[in-house]
Amino acid sequence: MARPSRIPRQIVDLMVRGGRHVWTLEQIAEDLAAAGQGADFSSVWRGVERLLGEGRLTRVGLDDGAARYELAEAHHDHVRCLRCHAVAAIPCLLGPGVVAAMEARTGYLIQTHSVVLDGLCPACRGGAAA
């Protein structure tokens, strides 16, 4: 039986190995199982909550109901496939000049943002053209 204390490290290792850019809880459980590290769903959830609390993971809000998680790293924005829900990282689209200009325009102090570009990933785009 997998010891619960191993799970956070296994989750981080999984994300460092890559294969995806963001993971849902279900995908974390699937990928751990595929690596022979299967764990029950509530243990995966607790592992993710612990890593969030430690600041090692961040929650990616994509506004479609499914919470996704990624390794905490320097700010970047995302591109998403509307058909298969693949997500990839892109460099930040709003330079400091844009943020300052929007602060001047709105009077808001802007502290954070996330930009998501929606479309079709290369695989789905190929399928659409066929």
Residues that bind Zn ion (CB under 5 A): 70, 77, 89, 92, 94
Q: Which is nearer to Zn ion, 42 or 112 (CB)?
A: 112
Q: Which residue is nearest to Zn ion (CB)?
A: 92
Exposed, middle or buried, 56 (CB in 10 Å: 0-12/13-18/19+)?
A: middle
Q: Which is nearer to Zn ion, 33 or 117 (CB)?
A: 117
Q: Which is nearer to Zn ion, 6 or 76 (CB)?
A: 76
> Least distance (Å) from Zn ion to the CB of residue 113?
6
> Least distance (Å) from Zn ion to the CB of residue 71?
8
Q: Which residue has the tokens 């592992």?
A: 47
